[in-house]
Amino acid sequence: MNNFEKINWNVPDSIKILVSKKSFSSKNDFNISFYGKNNYEEAYKNINFLINNFLPSRPHFIKQVHGKKVIDLNKNILPLYVADGLITSKKKQVVSILTADCMPIVISSTCGNIICVLHVGRKGLEFNIIENAFSILNNYNYSYEAWIGPSISKDYYLVDNNIKNTFVNLNEKYEDFFSRNNNNVYMDLSGIAAFQLKENKVDNVYYSGLCTFKNSKDFYSFRKFSDVKRFGTFVWID
C-alpha cells in the first residue's frame, strides 16, 4: 500500500505528505494523540513506528488550541509551541498536525522551497488563521498552492444559526457556504477555507475529497465518536 498522498498539483515531488490512517495498525486503531487516559504510551509507540518506517526525522508537534497562531520554524525552535500552524523551509524537517474532523491544510510554494501545515476548524476560519499564515509566507515572495486533507464534509457538519450569523457578519459571501435541510443548518468548512486561500492569492486549491465522519473506518471523527484520538498529517521537504 502506498501511504503517501498523491496530489496532482504544481509543486515538486520533493514535497511529501503522509496521513496516518487507522489502517497503519493491524488493530485499525493507529492513534497519534497524547491526550486522554492511557493514550500516551500508545501514541508514543505509533509515532516511533512512523519515524522508523516513513518519516525522515522526529516530527515537530504543537499544542493545538483552535486559534490563529502560526510559527515559522526557520526563525524559532522550541520544544513545544501553543499554536495551530507550522512553517519550514528546512529539508527533512517534519511538520505535523493532528485532526479528527478539523481540516489539515498543507500549503507549499510552487518551487518547493517552503511548506506550511495548518490545523483549521470552525474557530480557525473565524479567526482567519489562513490570512495569518500568509502574513508570514508572503515575506518569502513565492507563489503557493494548497491541499485540504480529510475532514468533516458539509453533508455532516451540523451547526446552529448563531454560528452561521457569526460568519455572515464577518463576510456576507459566507452565506453561500451554509445550507439548510429541514430545520438543520450545515456548514461547508472546506468551502470557506478555499475562499480564504483564494483571498490570499492561492489560485489552485486541491482536496482529498474524504469526509472523516463518513469514512470513520479510516479516520477518527470527534463528531461521530466524541473521543480524543487523532490521525496525523506529516509534511516535509525531501
pLDDT, position 8: 82
- Are 107 and 228 spatial neighbours (Cβ–Cβ below 8 Å)? no
Contact 197, 206 (CB under 8 A): no
Confidence of residue 210 (pLDDT cuts 50, 70, 90): very high
- Cα(116)–Cα(106) distance, integer angstroms: 6
Query: Is 19 within 8 Å of 148 (Cβ atoms)?
Result: no
Question: Where exactly are the structural domains of the chain?
Answer: 15-152+193-237
For the segment 21-48, the average pLDDT, to the nearest whole number, is: 85
Question: Which architecture does CATH list for 15-152+193-237?
Answer: 4-Layer Sandwich (3.60)
**pLDDT computed for residue 169 by the predictor:** 98
- Mean pLDDT throughout 54-75? 95
pLDDT at 1: 37
Instruction: Say how many C-beta atoms besides its own lie within 10 A of residue 56's C-beta.
Output: 15
pLDDT band for position 13 (cuts 50, 70, 90):
very high
The sign of the torsion formed by the CA atoms of 134, 137, 141, 146 equals negative
The predicted model gives 10-27 an average pLDDT of: 89
DSSP E strands in 92-216: the ranges are 95-99, 103-109, 115-120, 144-148, 158-159, 178-181, 184-187, 205-207
